[in-house]
Amino acid sequence: MTGYERLSRLIGTYPELAIYRKFSTLCTRLLLYKQAELQHLENELNIISQIDARDPRKSVYTVSWEALNEASPTDGDDLQRQKVLEIDEKMDKYYSALLKAYQVHSLAKPVECDISFLREWLKRPEGADYSIKGVEAEPWKLCCAADLVSLSRPDTKDEFAQSLSDKILPWYHHFFGRRQKKSAKSDNSDLDGIWEYRSEVFVALGNIICMMLSSIIPTASIFALHFVKGMIARLAVIAAMSFVFAFVMMVIVRGRRVEVFAATTAFAAVQVVFVDKANAVTSS
């Protein structure tokens, strides 16, 4: 099994590898052509309408669709109707193309580790690159990376977990995974030599990291405020820890701006209350 048959077997077995090029530039060019064609047809219809409006027999077309629709083809009486029908047909195709382009552009971008694996697999001697050559092999190359879409939704929408997977998994597989795990055996021997890792592991790892940070940051802030003396220094600690807290909320937790603002404000308020109580105890 070689070439497209082998590649289709791989993608069929691992749907996350259903990565295709959307041809954004080519699609845009075709849409522009259709738009330009309709623009010319609109101008032609306007000219025909103006000419018919000056004709005593055809001026009724401007106020009666029935008269326009029943216009006789003799002497060019139905020229305006024919142009309307032509525009209707072209407009339908144009709108259909617009909606299809919108749907395609709404597809998710491929996960980095998936497209990297697919490129690597195509380069293997047992892959498909030796059969798919020339321009047909270009869609998955780096030059087309921004033009790729995936038909498979990721197992998780957890961006932090996905980021951990993209950064940790290649390193782990290179040094440990390929030595400790056996490759996934498919019913078809053509797909041997592929390792599978569960995304749930990285979701759990992300949850553990978030749990640790949620306990470490407030505790570290309290310790720092306890040992730091002087109001200016304590205010600086509050500002620094509030920034760290907001950074974690925005980058790791991926909270919305309003949620980050509210949580950071509450965190800063708790620190201010602690400083106020500490000062009261010191004064007494």
| Cα–Cα distance measured from residue 81 to residue 152, given in angstroms and rounded to the nearest whole number | 46
Distance CA 167, CA 169 (A): 6
Alpha carbons 62 and 58: distance in angstroms, whole number: 8
Rounded Cα–Cα distance for residues 22 and 29 (Å) = 13
Q: Considering only residues 254 and 99, tell me which one the structure prediction assigns the higher pLDDT.
A: 99
Q: How far apart are CA 252 and CA 177, in angstroms?
A: 26
What are the residue boundaries of the structural domains of the chain, listed by start? Answer: 3-21+109-191, 24-105, 200-283
Give SS3 for 20: strand
Note the pLDDT of residue 178: 64
Burial status of residue 138 (CB atoms within 10 A of its CB: 0-12, 13-18, 19 or more): exposed
283 confidence band (pLDDT: 50, 70, 90): low
Is the pLDDT reported for residue 160 higher than 80?
A: no
Q: Give the mean pLDDT of 52-75.
A: 76
What pTM was computed for the model? 0.68
**pLDDT per residue as tens digits for the range 12-38:** 888 889 999 999 999 999 999 999 999
pLDDT at position 193 is 67
| 30-57 average pLDDT score | 91
Q: By the 8 A CB rule, do 204 and 148 touch?
A: no
- Residue with the bigger pLDDT between 244 and 197: it is 244
How many whole angstroms separate alpha carbon 205 and alpha carbon 211?
10
Angle at alpha carbon of residue 147, lines to 144 and 153, rounded to 5°: 120
Q: In this structure, what DSSP letter does residue 150 have?
A: E
* 177 and 197 Cβ atoms separated by less than 8 Å: yes
Q: What is the pLDDT of residues 81-140, one digit of tens each?
A: 788 889 999 999 999 999 999 999 999 888 888 888 888 888 876 555 556 777 888 888
Across residues 42-49, what is the average pLDDT?
92
The residue with tokens 């007494």 is 284
Cβ-in-10-Å burial (0-12, 13-18, 19+) of 189 comes to: exposed
Cα gap 203→32, rounded to integer Å = 44
Residue recorded with tokens 């959307």: 22
CA angle 271, 275, 280 (to 5 degrees): 150
**18-27, 40-49, 156-165, 215-224: least confident range:** 156-165
Residue 182: per-residue pLDDT: 56
Tell me what percent of the residues of the chain surpass a pLDDT of 70.
85
